[in-house]
A and B are shown apart, each in its own frame.
Chain A
Amino acid sequence: MARWLSKVGKVGAWLDARLQVWGMIRDTMAHPVPRDTASWFYVFGSATFVIMVLQFVTGILLALVYVPSAADAWQSLQVLNHQIAFGWFLRAVHGWGSNFMVALLLIHMAQVFLFGAFKYPRELTWMIGVGLLLLTLGMAFTGQIMRFDADAYWGLGIGASVSARVPFVGSWLVGLLLGGPIIAGQTLSRFFTFHVFVVPGLLIGAALVHVLLVVKVGINDWPMPGRLVNRKTYLARYKRLLHEDGVQFVPDAFQRDLVFSALIILAVLVCAAVFGPFGPSGRPDPRMIDIAPKPDVFFLWLYAALALLPAELETALILIVPVVAIAVLLLLPFISGTGEKSWKRRPFAVLVVVLLASGFIALTWLGLQPPWSPSMTAWSGTPLPPRLLKERTPLELQGALVFQNKQCRNCHALGGTGGDRGPPLDNVAVHLTRDQLIRQVLQGSGEMPAYGDHLHPAEVAALVSYLETLHPPYQPAARVSAASSGSSP
């Protein structure tokens, strides 16, 4: 054993005589960090890095089989899922790893923001971190295209439609995004290049510089309320802190990073094993249009926001908000580079994080069950509860048929089922009189199309008779008041 060890030592010495890196590694491992930072709050960045490495490994493994061709990519994913040993599992690990990486990165970012880590002298570390956020989101978006299915195809259409809204150069941007005039073979090839060469290259470079800066500038000291950052005194005080109350990075701080990263990797593996890989959904065949394309979970908030923005402001908001948001993130260390670090004395910072997080969660939740989309099959596939059909006249029953046949149910729920685009109509007769119902059906209003051209007068009569029965037994249908009926001709 001892002889074996000494042989390893000799090989190591031979290598290091040439590479000369051991001293640097040893210094990095032993470099002092403030004792408070050996904390469970400081583990998210390293875990993000570890997941990134996991993504590189699984990504390379998947590339051994994946075919980046519009004609064959979908089929090669089927082969990965069903024929290659553990192919499904590696796809699942890569997919879940992606979700974990984005989630960890966002948590890490919120933590360093709340702990004031972006302030002097760590401005550049933060700015490169913002770049890492964008690159990681770029990986997530291009990765979704690699899963070249119907969602990927129409997702590209959404990307092109957003690009097209840029003034003056919109059509050029669409051409450059798609690599040609339509979504086709060249589109997948270029997204493959970005997902596999360009973005990972930038990502690994930026991540290494980011880590190097953490080592060189020093990890952010635990923020104490009232201990203000001052450009003149900070460095000396940090040095004194390291000297007086410092611990070695390895093992004091590193052990928590190690435990947490291992737990996260295990979590990814468990999710992959239990929930399996993501898709692919249907073939990327534009001829099959009976689909409701949806982005992956980390872009659902955007998908929801695009439905809820006021139409007239939409283009401006789509194009301006991201630019402003990125600029604010990048300039944050210069807007608020000194002063208080502790979140306990930065109520505005806490409010921003709470608002962004709750907005993100709320929009994602809405995106999962989009209430703004018509329910495409409600008219043909959703039954009416018997209580909404009992004791109706033949004319009223015919109206119920018109209601289904004309797709009213796609937007209006009855008995708790149907679309959510318009209001549910269970009690519509309480709110609208017969004349108002007729007017609403024929002319529409605001968000409702006018049905005047597509309903026979007899159908309108039947439909409105049925709608007039939709009120609770204890509440009568709305009637025209005596005064207004008297005054109207």
Chain B
Amino acid sequence: MSQDESSTGLPVLQNTPVRAAPGPENPVEPTPPVPRRNFLLRVGIGLSALAGAVASVPIVGYLLSPLRNAGKRDWVRVGALSEFPIGETRLTTFANPSYEAWDGPTAMVPCYVRRMANDRFQVFAVNCAHLGCPVRWFPESGLFMCPCHGGVYYDDGSRASGPPPRGLFEYHWQIRRDELWVRGGALPTLATPA
């Protein structure tokens, strides 16, 4: 290998050709009849494609796994009926039916429970129908107001003003043995209204 000194002092390598150029000492090899030479290459490409296809099945399945339970809802207890006085709207929380140990406080889901009569309820998601910000309840004026873009809803959840395209999302509810249960499990959005 030959070296020469560059102007900056460090030795510099000159490129040494990996394969000698064809010439009198290195006559060009006659090309063999086509297929045999490339046989392994073709096998290799085929096997790699197969391996890639097989490997992609678990990868894609793994990546899409969040969709498997996307539509799944479950009944979950919100509280005893006595916690919700008739004629009032109360902020409360329930534990999301599916959760992991490392969810921390994010496993809890807030909601507003409005009790109109002994056995008549409305359970609203706190998420504004516009972009999901948490709406606040003002009992004095009977309005829910959103802090993000100014959406306002009436006490029955219907849209009063602002950018929301619809009223508040409502959870299905049930009374089981003097307890209020709701069907929860997914973040309410326009695509997945609770």
Contact = CB atoms under 8 A, between A and B. Distances in A.
Given A71-B102, A71-B103, A174 B192 contact: yes
Given A183-B187, A291-B134, A373-B149, A450 B105 contact: no
Interface string A1-40: 0000000010011001100101100100000000000000
B79 interface: no
Contact of A162 (B70, B106, B131): B131
B100 A376 contact: no
A160 B132 contact: yes
B189 interface: yes
Contacts of A306: 130-131, 149, 163
B54 interface: no
Given A17-B13, A23-B13, A158 B103 contact: no
B13 A20 contact: yes
Interface string A378-412: 01000000000000000000000000011110100
Interface in A160-189: 160-166, 170-176, 178-187
Interface in A294-341: 303, 306-307, 309, 311, 314-315
Given A184-B106, A407-B141, A26 B6 contact: yes
Interface residues on A, range: 35 or more
Contacts of B44: none
> Which residue, of B102, B160, B164, has the highest number of chain A Cβ atoms within 10 A?
B102
A284 interface: yes
B138 to A, nearest CB: 5
A245 interface: no
Interface residues on B, range: 35 or more
A449 interface: yes
Q: Which DSSP category, helix, strand, loop or mixed, fits chain B's interface?
A: loop
B106 A405 contact: no
Interface in B30-59: none
A444 B3 contact: no
Contacts of A424: none
19 contacts: A23-B12, A72-B104, A158-B133, A170-B190, A174-B70, A174-B191, A176-B64, A179-B66, A284-B104, A286-B134, A287-B105, A289-B91, A293-B147, A309-B163, A372-B162, A373-B147, A373-B149, A407-B138, A449-B152
B113 interface: no
